Amino acid sequence: MKQDLGAHAFAFPTPVYIVGSYGKDGKPNAMNVAWGGICGSEPPCVAISIRKSRRSYDNITEKGAFTVNIPSKAHIKEADYFGIASGHKVDKFAATGLTAVKSPHVDAPYIEEFPLCLACKVIHTMELGQHVQFVGEIVSVMADASCLTAGGLPDIEKLAPLLFDPAKSAYNATGEYLGKAFSVGKEFLNKG
């Protein structure tokens, strides 16, 4: 018997995306976004939901572009800071000492010290109550060699991404490898 907890944004886990954007003045900014996720594969797309009060909202609306940077757990403090300080008031790159680099693919900066970056062009926006959802087409993925497998694909263990727990408002690390997708469930095929 389940308890009814009411209406909450309780999907587990949510990501920790650090979204990079440029202002009209060309100043780089970045914010922490937990309300987001992959929402398409051909073309590859990612959705992020941002309140209109954020500096990043103005930037992304103006430029039609953003980056999604995946921080490793080593950068938990910087990632959190990007979610508690606003580019309306401070220069977050100056404060953290992290490096904003112009993406070669879109008019948005990526974060040099974070291992993986998705360069995105806005293809849809949708009002969702307090948030506006931006759907970005991922035009390129930029990765540090240190987070790749021998086959050249991102490795979750090397990336060591942060996860956000929306119930405790806390960060967790990823857990252990459990099994191969599109495979471990095969024993149920032809049984139903």
Ligand X SMILES: Cc1cc2nc3c(=O)[nH]c(=O)nc-3n(C[C@H](O)[C@H](O)[C@H](O)COP(=O)(O)O)c2cc1C
Site of interaction with ligand X (CB under 6 A): 29, 31-35, 49-51, 54-56, 80, 83-88, 164
Please say which residue, 97 or 192, places its beta carbon nearer to ligand X. 97
Judge whether 111 and 30 are in contact, CB under 8 Å.
yes
Structure tokens at 67: 């980056």
By Cβ distance, which residue is nearest to ligand X?
A: 83
Comparing CA positions, the residue from 70, 186, 72, 67 lying closest to residue 136 is 67
Contacts of 21 (CB under 8 A, 6+ apart): 28, 29, 30, 56, 59, 60, 63, 65, 66, 67, 108, 109
Q: Which is nearer to ligand X, 82 or 119 (CB)?
A: 82
CB of 164 to ligand X, least distance (A): 5
Closer Cβ to ligand X, 81 or 158, answer by number: 81
* E strand or H helix that includes residue 117: strand 116-128
Residue 11 Cβ, how far from ligand X at the closest point, in Å?
A: 12
Q: How far is the CB of 99 from ligand X (least distance, A)?
A: 17
Residue with tokens 């309306």: 88
CB of 37 to ligand X, least distance (A): 11
Closest-CA residue to 139 (of 162, 160, 120)? 120
* Contact by Cβ (8 Å): 116, 144: yes
Q: Shortest gap between Cβ of 32 and ligand X (angstroms)?
A: 4
Q: Is 12 exposed, middle or buried (0-12, 13-18, 19+ CB in 10 A)?
A: exposed
In the bound complex, what is the minimum distance in angstroms from residue 78's beta carbon to ligand X? 12
